[in-house]
Structure 1
Amino acid sequence: MWKLLYNIGLLFATPVIVGVLLAKPRCRPGFFQRMGRQRRSSDGGGTLQPLIWVHAVSLGEVVAAAPLVKALHERHPEFRYIVTTVTETGREAVEQRLGGIAEHRYAPLDFPWAVAGVVRRLRPMLYVFVETEIWPNLLWTLRDQDVPSVLVNGRLSSRSFRRQDLPVIRSFYRSVLQTLTLCLMQSQRDGDRLVALGADSARVHVTGNIKFDQPLPSVRSDELFRRSVGIDEHEQLILAGSTHPGEEELLVSAYRRIVKTHPSAVLMLAPRHIERADRVEATLREAEFVVQRRSRIREKQSGPRVIILDTRGELSRAYREAVVAFVGGTLVPVGGHNLLEPAVWGTPVLFGPHTDHCAEVATLLSEAGGGRRVAGVEDLVATLEEWLGQPEIRYRVGQSARQAVLDNQGALTRSLELIETCLRPDHSYSDSCAATGPGPLMAKT
């Protein structure tokens, strides 16, 4: 019944969905792939090769999934790997991080004809998806084709969980979640919530957050980063990463006050969506700040200024060069982004009150003394004053952040061991994976 009702709703929504895709320039690439026109998967010799399909909706999920895909490839080079994304930033991340290992394609929309065609052409041996990006028709189709589906690094935010309060909605979720073969969750809270929504508890495992297992980027290229953006050794870089509208204004308000006592401080803003760089620059110039764009720096400047990081693939390396990092999506009600990116470098971490998407990591860093939650501009200014003015405290906080990351690694290995149970030659949909242990209808919020 739920499958029928869901697809009736999709039918009525189809003109709107297609219209939005065509209206937004950033959604147009890969339009035919999104509509299910995926080419058949085969190796260079034209013979079918066993395929593992990994879905990672956007940049953050690709970053999390990349070490997993690399590890699977090392253990099972007999498989071909395809990674699907929804966004352009996701595509770029796949090509940068998994070139030569996995092929990128855009994920099909959840129309029954689209997902059925893609599954028929790809014929995957296994479907792995990251962080609770649940598409009902896709999961129903995979189940019908006896293809195991594994949720990796699963999480369920408080906002998403509260949306499912009505019994009728939970009944719908149950019909979808029970298609999942394994659910590998970041925390006990996430696991409990998924079971409460209808997932089979025997298939739910708390494996931890695989983002703790991210490898460090190459240091050789990082040594040139400060020089390439014109930051002198005596200048203190404050980096605000993955920022959102409304957040940049609060950050520069705090920076305006900070430079009065710390004139060597330089603020770098890295908007979560780079296409907003023009708007951010215009706002800063209206506020009479000296502004530089990372992509357009030609001459070195000195003194207080704001640098906009408008290039892709440099945020993690930039965190290494910062004396203090602020992670965005937390001063405004977005839910937060990857707090571990600066922590792994030993960079002290600041974040706002809205951390629903990274609640466990925020709590962990706070309790370990490696990060601090700030309520607003006043708290932000006070903490920056403290850490910029007392390098010994700042160093101690940074080391605590790095140690917290090291102490919590291992989720990648635990996830791999469970995923491999689904690659046994004698596997069928209902036996080996489910017996050993852990999915979305909820797209990431």
Structure 2
Amino acid sequence: MANLPRLQPAAFPLALPGPLLYIGTITSAGRRPINKQAAVNPSKTSSRLLLLLYQWLWSLVLPCLRFNSRLQSGYDQRTLRTPLPAADLWIQAASVGEAYLARQLMTSLQPCQPLTILITTNTSQGYDILNRTKNEAGPTLRVAVGYFPFDKPSLMHQALSAVAPRAVVLLESELWPGLMAACKAEGVKLVVVNGRMTERSLQRYLHWPAIWRDLRPHAVLAMSPADGKRFAALFGEEIVETMANMKFDTLQSRQPPAGAAANPLRTIVETTEKFVVLGSVRQEEEKEVSRLLCHLCRRDPRLIIGLFPRHMHRLRHWQQELTARHLPWQLRSQCRHAVPAGTIILWDTMGELTKAYDLARSVFVGGSLAPVGGQNFLEPLSSGIRPVIGPHWRNFAWVGREIIEQGLVHEARTWQEAAAYLLEQAEQLPDRPRTTEALRLFIADRQGGTTKACRKIMRLLAAP
């Protein structure tokens, strides 16, 4: 069992063997009969056996999931004790990131005739986002939000029968074998949108290549040529297309507001000061950032440094750390007037990071000196600042290395390299208009994915 592929951890609360299965020849009350020709096909026989194993594993685990605190919300919908509503289109969005993509689709679809959409999610955070935004849909759309049922094949058959969609959309890296197999059995068209797949996931899936060929969706819209090649290796290249990443459609450059009234931070950081921002610093990189701070203060004692911990509960640590290192610091909440040069402002208020980026001469974006995935380096770019990040930014790999190659973001291998970049940039005023224009062009070349996805979905809905 150790070699069986696994579901994406972010999309599934318990590590179960999967994705394994093909359900197209399984029968139940009211289902189509077994295809006798397929029954003698060795790959089909293997798929059916794996299906039975998957069903059995779900039967074992399902009673335990009742006690999982993350699954308490919507548990009756997850088990279909509360049935899902009928819909023409079913969109599955695993969590927060996918929920925002589902919202993009929902607000961009413009059918001529009334259309009912069901959007399901696995997490309470995703549910809250979708529930808050469902009324943003156009006048011809009626949107319902629910929790995604557990992927037990028999449950998925029931769910698909209840919803009775004409098409199903999976977002990004989601491959749910129970749902995919039920769609195959019922002849429901399924499309993967904004699809991404790592090389590691592909190698796991390829332990069972014939099964995935049986399960393959009607179409895959991959977010990059590299992702497209991996999907093609799994499902066959004839169903795979590439699209621009939908996330680019939500990005835009902007001109930072001018004047003290527009940016209250100008009252504590004068425009003539060399202001450096260390944004979204994570706990895992605190040792490196502490060394970076000491280096900056030693090399240029007149810097004003804004230190933004990613999580507020780390403020006490930073108070102790800065005091122990004899570095002059002040809490943001205690700043009433312009702070003197050489001060570290420890930010203990929310919602001011973008305003700080608007005033900064140089910026480091955290979560990148330790392997925790990185934080949003596009935010300072939108403020006209070309930030420096560490080598760990997999959470934003979808942006592409071109953003590094074009000089919009500087990638440092160590904290020493990051410090050198910050010191260099702090010596001059940033050319914000030039940076925001470069960002605008970078984004514009990569937009349009949402439109392509909507056109594909509408064609599937219109097909007989």
Q: For residue 212 of structure 1, what is the aligned residue in structure 2?
A: 248
Q: 1:412 to 1:318 in 2, by over 3 A?
A: farther
Q: 1:81 to 1:371 in 2, by over 3 A?
A: same
Q: Which of 68, 74, 89 pairs up with 1:30?
A: 74
Q: Is the 8 A contact 2:254 2:436 kept in 1?
A: no
Any idea what SS the aligned residue of 1:287 has?
A: helix
Q: How many residues align?
A: 400
1:129 positional shift: 2.0
Aligned partner letter, 1:333: P
Any idea what SS the aligned residue of 2:73 has?
A: coil
1:337 positional shift: 6.1
Q: 1:110 to 1:402 in 2, by over 3 A?
A: same
CA deviations on 1:72-125 (whole Å, 9 max, x unpaired) are: 1x3457112332222333233324444443443222221223323332332223
Q: For residue 221 of structure 2, what is the aligned residue in structure 1?
A: 184
Identity rate of aligned residues, in percent?
25
1:268 positional shift: 2.1
1:370 positional shift: 0.8
CA deviations on 1:191-220 (whole Å, 9 max, x unpaired) are: 0111112x1312111112111111559999
Q: For residue 156 of structure 2, what is the aligned residue in structure 1?
A: 115
Query: TM-score of the superposition, structure 1-length normalised?
Result: 0.74
1:57 positional shift: 1.8
1:398 positional shift: 5.1
CA distance in 1, matches of 2:96, 2:285: 20
CA distance in 2, matches of 1:8, 1:390: 64
Q: For residue 254 of structure 1, what is the aligned residue in structure 2?
A: 292
Aligned partner letter, 2:146: R
Q: Is the 8 A contact 1:339 1:362 kept in 2?
A: no
1:381 positional shift: 1.5
Q: 1:256 to 1:141 in 2, by over 3 A?
A: farther
Aligned partner letter, 1:369: G
- Gaps (5+ residues) in structure 1? 42-47, 272-276, 428-445
- Gaps (5+ residues) in structure 2? 1-45, 138-142, 324-328
Q: Is the 8 A contact 2:282 2:309 kept in 1?
A: no
Any idea what SS the aligned residue of 1:22 has?
A: coil
Moved more, 203-212 or 383-392: 383-392
* Superposition pairs of residues 18-417 of structure 1, within 5 angstroms: 19=64, 22-24=67-69, 26-41=70-85, 50-72=87-109, 74-75=110-111, 78-101=114-137, 102-164=143-205, 168-176=207-215, 178=216, 180-197=217-234, 199-214=235-250, 216=252, 227=264, 232=269, 234=271, 236=275, 238=277, 240-241=279-280, 245-259=283-297, 261=300, 263-270=303-310, 277-278=312-313, 280-288=314-322, 303-307=343-347, 330-336=368-374, 340=378, 342-344=380-382, 346-356=384-394, 358-359=396-397, 361-392=399-430, 396-397=434-435, 399-417=437-455
Root mean square deviation of aligned Cα: 4.0
CA deviations on 1:300-346 (whole Å, 9 max, x unpaired) are: 585423336778xx988887676656555543335556654554554
Q: 1:357 to 1:270 in 2, by over 3 A?
A: closer
Aligned partner letter, 1:62: A
Any idea what SS the aligned residue of 1:105 has?
A: strand
Q: Is the 8 A contact 1:195 1:201 kept in 2?
A: yes
1:409 positional shift: 1.6
CA distance in 2, matches of 1:397, 1:215: 15
CA distance in 2, matches of 1:323, 1:16: 54
CA deviations on 1:154-180 (whole Å, 9 max, x unpaired) are: 11123323444xx5333443333x1x1
